């Protein structure tokens, strides 16, 4: 069946189709991952430590291609937002990273956090999520055995703090 769509209309329809496909793919990955042992353990620890609010997960389109996910409090509820249009390659590490933030925000009110406090939670998230494992670093084209973990954690935490609206323009390494 031939379509009477112009090339531009076709591109728009196809783009919307791809966006819907990415959304479903992200939702499916998240649904599967929250059933995995490590993430179940984090969620259990979260609730066991007195954090009684359920952590919600949301897949959405993000404008910034450098952000794969973020944590926020949405109407009093902790929410992990996954950027479905950006890389879902390391989504397990991403979800784990954001759950560390959820725990930190519950344990210590970080709603008005300083850049130094944000740096601390980013360091914990980078350490505990597995994002600085040797295999993840090799995928990023980074290699080093001596001091690798320390350098990775510092680099990843610095990048994360630098993207925070309250810390932009501040050298995150000073935080």
- Where in the sequence is the domain holding 53, given as residue range(s)? 1-86
Nearest in space to 81 (alpha carbons), one of 95, 63, 93: 95
Query: Exposure pattern of 41-57 as b/e (b: 16+ CB <10 Å)?
Result: ebbeebeeeebeeebeb
Rounded to the nearest 10°, the torsion over CA 110, 111, 114, 115 is 90
In a shared domain, residues 82 and 124: no
pTM for the model stands at 0.79
Domain contains 39 = yes
Catalytic residue, chosen from 8, 63, 98, 137, is 98
127 is written with which tokens?
Answer: 């350490």
State the Cα–Cα distance between residues 117 and 166, nearest whole angstrom.
12
98 given a catalytic annotation:
yes
State the Cα–Cα distance between residues 19 and 10, nearest whole angstrom.
14
Domain contains 142 = yes
In a shared domain, residues 57 and 16: yes
pLDDT digits (tens, 9 = 90+) for 10-54: 888 888 898 899 899 999 999 999 998 889 998 998 889 888 888
Count of domains forming the chain:
2
pLDDT digits (tens, 9 = 90+) for 117-142: 889 999 999 988 888 877 776 677 77
């Amino acid at each position: 069946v031939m379509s009477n769509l112009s090339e531009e209309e076709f591109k728009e329809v196809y783009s919307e189709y791809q966006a819907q496909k990415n959304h479903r793919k992200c939702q499916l990955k998240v649904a599967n991952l929250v059933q995995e042992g490590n993430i179940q353990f984090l969620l259990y620890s979260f609730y066991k430590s007195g954090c009684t609010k359920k952590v919600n997960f949301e897949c959405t389109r993000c404008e910034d291609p450098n952000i794969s996910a973020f944590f926020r409090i949405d109407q009093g509820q902790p929410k992990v937002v996954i950027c479905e249009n950006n890389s879902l390659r390391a989504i397990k590490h991403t979800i784990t990273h954001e759950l560390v933030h959820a725990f930190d925000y519950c344990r210590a009110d970080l709603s008005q956090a300083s850049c130094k406090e944000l740096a601390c939670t980013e360091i914990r998230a980078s350490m505990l999520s597995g994002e600085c494992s040797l295999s993840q670093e090799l995928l990023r084209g980074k290699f080093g055995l001596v001091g690798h973990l320390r350098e990775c954690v510092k680099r990843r935490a610095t990048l994360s703090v630098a993207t925070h609206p309250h810390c932009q323009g501040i050298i995150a390494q000073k935080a």
